[in-house]
Amino acid sequence: MKYVVAGLFALAALALTMSNNYADEKDGKYTIKEVMKLAHKDELFKLVASGKASQKEKDKLVELYTALAKAKPPEGELKDWQERTGPMLAAAKQAAKGDAKAAASLLKIVQCGACHELHKP
């Protein structure tokens, strides 16, 4: 019986640890992994940058980048993370307001390799 109770406590501690780890990654509505897939792998940011995105798609990119900017990086300095995600969010917000120059700037601002080098585990 002792071992069953000890096992249950160990499982509960593990569950709490796991939930805390995932909570850190998902401060916003989306996890970092979800943002990477939806905004970058699926190339939503390129659609916005091209000027061919609908208003709904532009708003979606703002929502994704807002979650990304609120997230904590899995590795690296938070300050560097904010310096990289802040301009992405600002450009997406301006693009959503109709600023074509800001939309096009996303192609230069979004530097996947540079960010992954510092922040991807």
DSSP string, 68-91: HHHSPPSSS-HHHHHHHHHHHHHH
Whole-prediction pTM value?
A: 0.76
Which structural domain, as residue segments, surrounds residue 7?
2-119
Instruction: Give the chain's domain count.
Output: 1
Residue recorded with tokens 């939806």: 38
What pLDDT score does 26 carry?
A: 46
For position 60, what pLDDT does the model report?
A: 97
Q: Please give the distance of CA 90 from its chain centroid, rounded to a whole number.
A: 14
Among 14-18, 65-69, 73-77, 111-115, the least confident range? 14-18
